Structure 1
Amino acid sequence: MSQTVLLKRGLLLEYLTLGWNVVGVILVVLAAYAARSVALAGFGLDSPIEIFASVVVVWQLKGINLNRERLALRLIGIAFIALVIYIVAQLLVTFLTGAHPATSVGGIIWIAATFIAMLLLAFGKRVTGKKLQNEVLLTEGRVTLVDAYLAGAVLLGLLLNALFGWWWADPLASLVIIYYGIREAMHALQESRSMKEAEEGSKA
């Protein structure tokens, strides 16, 4: 498969991610308002981070020969840090307020669909990124995977709250995502530093 075809596939995956998350921001915020759900509201606020990461990858793929990879990796690393900060903030707010949201059937359906969609998109980005040997697409694919894990955690929390009234299940489930997000942020920033050192070494 030619690099041109792979680039088009990579861009298509990012456009699908962008479209899904733009729609998701609206739907999730409306569902969160109706159910007064901190978890849903928090997930809605996560979508702009994924949108930002996708925009960075589109920018890099459209200028793949313009030495944008190092800066793109740094920006994605920052996006991961923002994601971790958001999850920690959500965790603290949920526990401190002891928020007991109402059941949101629409929210549960959308989050379940998002979980599946993000897993499929993350898989597509990993396969395409490996064939392109594009670290930026691979790294952003991990952002999408974290988004899927986050959707899974929120979905589990919503279901446990709806079935058993366990309002604290959602913030506890997010702890694993905090660990994963920190690890991937460090990976992206380290890759960016390694590229910078290689560039400086080649100029010496």
Structure 2
Amino acid sequence: MSSAKATTITGGRGLLLRRGLRLEYATLGWNLIGLGVLATAALGSGSPALAGFGLDSLIEVFASLVVVWQLKGVHKAREDRAMRLIGAAFAALAAYLLLQLVLVFFTGVRPATSGLGILWTALTSVVMLGLAWGKIRTGHALGNPVLRAEGKVTLVDAYLAGAVLAGLVLNALLGWWWADLLAGAVIIYYAVREARHAFRHSP
């Protein structure tokens, strides 16, 4: 391989790494702001779904920090450890959502309407979808399974935002408090599947 071609490949990889880092920084910023917004909305409405989504934002912050750590020192040992951490994040998300569904079902908690919650989850669903696909595409281009896996964490975050949004809207319009329980069950399945995939990838 000529030195010019090698330089071009190296430069292209550097651009992809910087794009991956920018995507992670954007995710971190959005979720850190979201923690305050969701805490306010959850306290105001007594919504366990919004409180749970706040925890999901914490998990997403953790996953993004793992990927930033991995992208700044890409090598096999760090990649394997990062995949295990991403798998643990998926497992924690699934476990919390399961606990959330059980508590809501058996305690009979019925949240009030939250306009702030509806607005934030709607925006988050759109923003996270864009960030997720950007990470997945960039991860494929880099051949980086950690960035791809974390992109799927962000995709779950987008789906969860949509599920919480649907539950809030249906509760506000029709009083269907149980709607987000059904959506949450689907997300639990997806999170468990991705956790298993991440753990299988790591030794």
State the TM-score, normalizing by the size of structure 1: 0.92
Structure 1 residue 96 corresponds to structure 2 residue 106: yes
Displacement of 1:67 after TM fit? 3.3
Amino acid at match of 2:190: Y
- What CA distance in whole angstroms lies between the structure 1 residues aligned with 2:166 and 2:140? 31
- Residues 95-145 of structure 1 show CA distances to partners (whole Å, capped at 9, x for unaligned) of 112111111111100000000011000000011001000000000000000
- Note the residue ranges of structure 2 that are not aligned, 5 or more in a row: 1-10
Question: Which residue does 2:150 correspond to in 1?
Answer: 140
Structure 1 residue 46 corresponds to structure 2 residue 84: no
Question: Which residue does 1:156 correspond to in 2?
Answer: 166
Question: Which residue does 2:6 correspond to in 1?
Answer: none
Amino acid at match of 2:166: L
Amino acid at match of 1:89: L
Displacement of 1:65 after TM fit? 3.6
Displacement of 1:15 after TM fit? 0.4
Question: Which residue does 2:176 correspond to in 1?
Answer: 166
- What CA distance in whole angstroms lies between the structure 2 residues aligned with 1:119 and 1:171? 21
Query: In the alignment, which of 180, 189, 194 is matched to residue 190 of structure 2?
Result: 180
- What CA distance in whole angstroms lies between the structure 2 residues aligned with 1:180 and 1:128? 22
Query: In the alignment, which of 59, 70, 80 is matched to residue 69 of structure 2?
Result: 59
Tell me the C-alpha RMSD between the 2 structures: 1.0
Displacement of 1:14 after TM fit? 0.4
Question: Which residue does 1:80 correspond to in 2?
Answer: 90
- Residues 27-65 of structure 1 show CA distances to partners (whole Å, capped at 9, x for unaligned) of 001101001111111111111111110000000000014
- What CA distance in whole angstroms lies between the structure 1 residues aligned with 2:78 and 2:192? 23
- What CA distance in whole angstroms lies between the structure 2 residues aligned with 1:33 and 1:22? 17
- What CA distance in whole angstroms lies between the structure 1 residues aligned with 2:81 and 2:51? 30
Question: Which residue does 1:190 correspond to in 2?
Answer: 200
Q: How many residues align?
A: 193
Amino acid at match of 1:50: E
Amino acid at match of 2:113: T
- What CA distance in whole angstroms lies between the structure 2 residues aligned with 1:67 and 1:174? 34
- What CA distance in whole angstroms lies between the structure 2 residues aligned with 1:65 and 1:189? 18
Query: In the alignment, which of 8, 33, 42 is matched to residue 18 of structure 2?
Result: 8
User: What does residue range 96-135 of structure 1 map to in structure 2 within 5 Å?
Assistant: 96-135=106-145
Amino acid at match of 2:90: F
Question: Which residue does 1:26 correspond to in 2?
Answer: 36
Amino acid at match of 2:102: L
Classify 1:66/1:192 alpha carbon distance in 2 versus 1 (closer, same or farther; 3 Å).
Answer: closer
- What CA distance in whole angstroms lies between the structure 1 residues aligned with 2:140 and 2:17? 12
Segments of 4+ moved more than 6 angstroms: none
